[in-house]
Amino acid sequence: MLSRPAAVQDQTWDPMDKLTQFGDMPADDFRRYGYEVVDWLANYFERIEEFPVLSQVRPDDVKNALPASAPEQGEPFGEVLRDVDRVILPAVTHWNHPNFHGLFSTSTSSVGVFAEMFAAAFDMKAMLWRTAPASTELEDVVLDWLRQMTGLPDVFEGIIYDTASVSTMHAIAAARERADPESRKLGLLGRGEAPRMRVYLSEHVHSSIDKSVITLGLGIQSLRRIETNERFEMIPEKLAEAIDDDIEAGILPICAIPTIGTTSTTSIDPVAAVADICEKYGIWMHVDAAYAGSAAIVPELQPLFAGWERADSIVMNPHKWLFTPFDLSVLYCRDLDDLKKAFSLVPEYLKTDDAERVKNGMDYGIQLGRRFRSLKLWFVMRYFGRSGLIARIREHCRLARTFAARVEESPNWEVAAPVPFALVCFRAKAGDIDAANALNEEIMRIVNSSGKAYISHTKLNGRITLRLSVGSVHVEERHIEKVWQLLETAYEQAAK
Ligand SMILES: *Cc1c(COP(=O)(O)O)cnc(C)c1O
């Protein structure tokens, strides 16, 4: 429990009191509770390792702990805070825990939390420049800082969305707009001459792309998955063949999506070769670097991104590996006007006389109001500095390589894919595939139910493969040592 110091007493809160019947919490109370909340959060970060990484609650525990209806009368806010301890905290899976190694290990930083407080307090909706000049202009500034840090050329301009899923959906919409401008007005249905469209990707892409084509009405059948090699990288010759094939069949290729840092293994599609093909056929190239994009700030890793500077659009997620609280995804476009053509639509009540001079966020996507997300990235960049961010990501990659070396040295384990960034795919060895799959599932179950660490898995060529992602701002060498010991112990237990 991170409960409140005993000294803190709730002031009498009487909802029927004339003073409190209208308006917000009195400023003095806000100040008092505010200090208390900050203390709580400081304790939380300090003591995070005491909590089980994966929440140990069962389904419905949270619902059962809460009343079925909202309170009729307001309650003292201290009561609410007590329930954060009692009901919410036990049901938190601690993404900020340094031994959260599942999926991708992502974490916030303290300054990111501060930024969220300001953003909530200002509560601005960045639809028009004039409704949110700070948000609109800071977004341009931090996205240009990030662009410079990642080594992208200055033709790229960015826009912030919530998640990579949404960034990619917008990129494909822009690609569709370019390939078939009629579709914006006429839609895709009931047009005799409407072309069938195709989006190309590897077998290892993220499911967000499937959701994008569902949403855009292209349908899952518009996806064509290109074979990968033994390193899980798209084979460019197969891509070229697929495009020829489709053109022959009267299908309109609109977009190819190479990934730098696939979700399963962080493999890297040959982006430069895909760019050659996209240029030859005049197809939009969208690079999915949702996870790995942050690593492009590390000079010695930049060669892994070769070719992405030729993209039409690129997505990267500072909320994944740049210590920025969820959510903040960036879509960089070679020509942001492509996005504007797909989405701009200005009703009379939103027309302004400065529209030619300023950027209005609402013109670049489906949202009208947009959160003040750039503030947290700005806080993070200023607090850590470019060199501080580089040092942290570089260290995560080093820790991942250290872990991979441990795995390789051990007779019981093997590394299952190259480790270009900070994710290690590995598995325990056993007789045949079925025995190995059962063994690895059991090891994962033992580790995860211990509450001491969290790892996840993927399937590579039919084989259950464990994934260890290193990316928390809190992670140190001892945490990697700890998870290795846990795995060794689990192996002994499961192999018996
Ligand atoms: C995480 C991830 C996504 C989806 O990210 P969201 O921001 O959660 O939508 C997409 N692509 C890749 C490669 C990812 O790693």
User: What is the residue-level pLDDT of the chain in tens, covering all 496 positions?
Assistant: 576 554 455 656 666 665 567 899 999 999 999 999 999 999 999 999 999 999 999 999 999 999 999 999 999 999 999 999 999 999 999 999 999 999 999 999 999 999 999 999 999 999 999 999 999 999 999 999 999 999 999 999 999 999 999 999 999 999 999 999 988 888 887 777 778 999 999 988 888 899 999 999 999 999 999 999 999 999 999 999 999 999 999 999 999 999 999 999 999 999 999 999 999 999 999 999 999 999 999 999 999 999 999 999 999 999 999 999 999 999 999 999 999 999 988 777 777 787 778 888 888 999 999 999 999 999 999 999 999 999 999 999 999 999 999 999 999 999 999 999 999 999 999 989 999 999 999 999 999 999 999 999 999 999 999 999 999 999 999 999 999 999 999 999 999 8
Extract the tokens encoding 260: 């730098």
pTM score:
0.95
Nearest residue to 332 via CA among 311, 309, 307, 313: 313
Residue with tokens 């803190």: 8
Residue nearest to atom 4 of ligand 1 (CA): 164
Q: How far is the CA of 291 from the centre of ligand 1 (A)?
A: 7
Residue 19: predicted pLDDT: 57
At the top level of CATH, the class of 385-494 is alpha beta
Extract the tokens encoding 440: 């690895």
Nearest residue to 156 via CA among 164, 165, 147: 147
Extract the tokens encoding 344: 């701009």
- Region 6-94: CATH code: 1.20.1340.10
Start-to-end CA distance of the chain, whole Å, equals 37
Whether residue 291 has its Cβ less than 6 Å from ligand 1: yes
Q: How far is the CA of 370 from the centre of ligand 1 (A)?
A: 20
Residue 13: predicted pLDDT: 63
Whether residue 288 has its Cβ less than 6 Å from ligand 1: yes
Q: How far is the CA of 321 from the centre of ligand 1 (A)?
A: 11
DSSP per residue, 375-398: HHHHHHHHHHHHHHHHHHHHHHHH
Partners of residue 161 on adjacent β-strands: 329
CB atoms within 10 A of CB 246: 18
Q: How far is the CA of 209 from the centre of ligand 1 (A)?
A: 9
Whether residue 423 has its Cβ less than 6 Å from ligand 1: no
Whether residue 331 has its Cβ less than 6 Å from ligand 1: no
331 DSSP 8-state letter? E
Query: Is 58 exposed, middle or buried (CB count within 10 Å of its CB: 0-12, 13-18, 19+)?
Result: exposed
Q: How far is the CA of 15 from the centre of ligand 1 (A)?
A: 45
Whether residue 329 has its Cβ less than 6 Å from ligand 1: yes
d(C-alpha 246, C-alpha 241), whole Å: 9
Q: How many CA atoms lie within 13 A of 200 on its CB side?
A: 33
At the top level of CATH, the class of 125-371 is alpha beta
List Cα–Cα distances, 433 to 179, 459, 461, 464, 493, in angstroms: 45, 12, 10, 9, 19
8 Å CB contact between 99 and 53: yes
SS3 string, 135-159, reads HHHHHHHHHHHHHHHHCCCCCCEEE
Domain ranges of the chain: 6-94, 125-371, 385-494
| Extended strands (E) in 215-362 | 223-226, 251-257, 284-288, 313-316, 329-333
> 3-state DSSP call for residue 414?
strand
Q: Which helix (H) or strand (E) holds 200?
A: strand 196-202
Alpha-helix runs per DSSP H in 260-373: 271-281, 318-321, 336-343
Query: Is 40 exposed, middle or buried (CB count within 10 Å of its CB: 0-12, 13-18, 19+)?
Result: middle
